[in-house]
Structure 1
Amino acid sequence: MRKLCLLLPVLALLINSCSTNPYRATNKSYKKQTKAFAKLLSQYPLQDSVNNASYFVGTTNLSMRRPNFVIIHHTAQNSCEQTLKTFTLPRTQVSAHYVICKDGTVHHMLNDYLRAHHAGVSRWGNSTDINSNSIGIELDNNGFESFDERQLNSLNLLLERLKKSFNIPSANFIGHGDIAPTRKNDPNWRFPWQTLSEKGFGLWWSDTSNVQVPENFDYLTAIRIVGYDVKDTSAAIVGFKRHFLMDTTKGMTPEAAKVLFQLHKKYL
């Protein structure tokens, strides 16, 4: 009887939580889709397009595919609730693994091993399908404001876990505006990339007062080495300056060249 009395408040809390969750319907859709993926993986053996072997041979050496990049976004919307709704409407076809609200609340919307639709048409280095090898994190921010300290604290804790869990290289913590500079600028120029780099999330540059840039320095090749797609030269330069100098102006400047000359060596 005593155990029952102890369990009743817990059961009441669970029932109340389920009944007040505005995303009950979409959560059912999530569970249905993940069950379908699990069923597909459980087929033994999976049907092969080439069926000329007399029997199936399964390797003993395998693991789950793991993310190798973390892409940070701002939501470009006016509230966390608005973004959660956007990511639970099938017609939008957009999503992210995590949404972090201004007050620091973290919504883990998709299992880290599954593919979110957050990067779109993008490129970083030789990687052209960023959705398939990355974690997408959306910060509640309309794109024209600074980032709340509580939000950044939650982000730091999340990045620590992701880096440790998946052994993600420091250089692979980047922004949406880095991988898609022709159409995106998030997270906006106010985002504290330098502070994150000091914690091991992203690379940064040191004092450039004594840096001498060679006359034959090929800055486009250097930007490409960092990771930017240089198909649109102007967009690549703006993307680089926004991330590493908090500067949204066009064109390479002497100071930007110094930063780039020093920084690109870290990516070699």
Structure 2
Amino acid sequence: MTAAYPSRNHGDRRGQRPELIVLHYTGMANAAVARARLCDSRAEVSAHWLIGEAGIAEALVPETRRAWHAGAGAWQGRGDVNSRSIGIEIANPGDRPFTSRQMDALTELLRGIMSRWHIGPASVIAHSDLAPGRKIDPGPRFDWQRLAHEGLALWPDDGPDTPLSDSLDAIGYPACDEPLRLAAFRLRFRPWAGGPETIADRRRAAGAARSYQEHAQPCPPIST
């Protein structure tokens, strides 16, 4: 694990503190190409951490600073996710599984971040969660169940057959077209599912809503 902070693409947190961790894949050929972009001031993008193919975690931006990784979106009714999150990019073009070394490095990194900032497993989310229809990373190949097994994310049991929209609201998905929210939910909790809404979607979403409510953390006040 390195901590060189080579990216200049960051700013002030605007009175917020990290309360979310957002997981991404780079969508680029390899870690070297991704690192170059995340450190290029012309690109105006960055992340706090980059995990390469060999499982090396590189610190690109100090966690106390606002990295530019989330873009437009919201989670649990709150916008400006960049100001209140830590972004982790995992080197992957988006068309293959994540390596065991990457997942090992991620679990170690998450434990440290969550301990430092008192962030619970319900606050470890996908880029696709906060930006339905705009982002799909870290995608259907990402192993959320492993993170949940390690206490680093949530993976729910199914619940009752209740209205899908109510459950997605309770989980924290932002308001948008329902098909986009369903697709984002499936990327996270029912990877590879497709077609119209089903009872399996509703039951999984109800279970997720219950799990998120049980693990809810109070949000710090928004500074004015």
TM-score normalized by the length of structure 1? 0.73
8 Å CA contact 1:75, 1:83 repeated in 2: yes
TM superposition outliers: structure 1 runs of 4+ over 3 Å: none
Task: Give how far 1:87 is off.
Answer: 1.2
- 2:204 matched to 1:259? yes
8 Å CA contact 1:147, 1:190 repeated in 2: yes
Aligned residues: 208
Deviations along 1:135-173, whole A, 9 cap, x unmatched? 000000001110000011000000000111110021000
Change in CA separation of 1:67 and 1:250 when aligned onto 2, cut-off 3 Å: farther
Match in the other structure for 2:98: 147
Task: Give how far 1:248 is off.
Answer: 4.8
- 2:185 matched to 1:234? no
- 2:127 matched to 1:176? yes
Q: Which has the higher contact order (CA 8 A, sep 6+)?
A: 2
Q: Per the alignment, in what secondary structure is the counterpart of residue 106 of structure 2?
A: helix
- For 1:8-87, list aligned pairs within 5 A: 27=6, 30=8, 65-87=16-38
- Mapped to 2, the partners of 1:248 and 1:74 lie a distance apart of 20
8 Å CA contact 1:237, 1:250 repeated in 2: no
Match in the other structure for 2:152: 201
Task: Give how far 1:263 is off.
Answer: 2.0
- Mapped to 2, the partners of 1:137 and 1:98 lie a distance apart of 5
Unaligned runs of at least 5 residues, structure 1? 1-23, 38-63
Change in CA separation of 1:72 and 1:212 when aligned onto 2, cut-off 3 Å: closer
- Mapped to 1, the partners of 2:192 and 2:203 lie a distance apart of 14
Judging by fraction of residues, say which structure has more helix. 1
**Max radius of gyration: which structure?**
1
Unaligned runs of at least 5 residues, structure 2? 214-224
Mean CA deviation greater in 250-259 or 101-110: 250-259
Q: Per the alignment, in what secondary structure is the counterpart of residue 90 of structure 1?
A: coil
Deviations along 1:234-266, whole A, 9 cap, x unmatched? 111011111011125243212111111222122
Match in the other structure for 1:10: none
Task: Give how far 1:267 is off.
Answer: 2.4
8 Å CA contact 2:73, 2:81 repeated in 1: yes
Change in CA separation of 1:204 and 1:163 when aligned onto 2, cut-off 3 Å: same
- Mapped to 1, the partners of 2:119 and 2:176 lie a distance apart of 27
Match of 2:47 among 49, 72, 96: 96
8 Å CA contact 1:116, 1:136 repeated in 2: yes
Deviations along 1:26-58, whole A, 9 cap, x unmatched? 94x84xx88xx7xxxxxxxxxxxxxxxxxxxxx
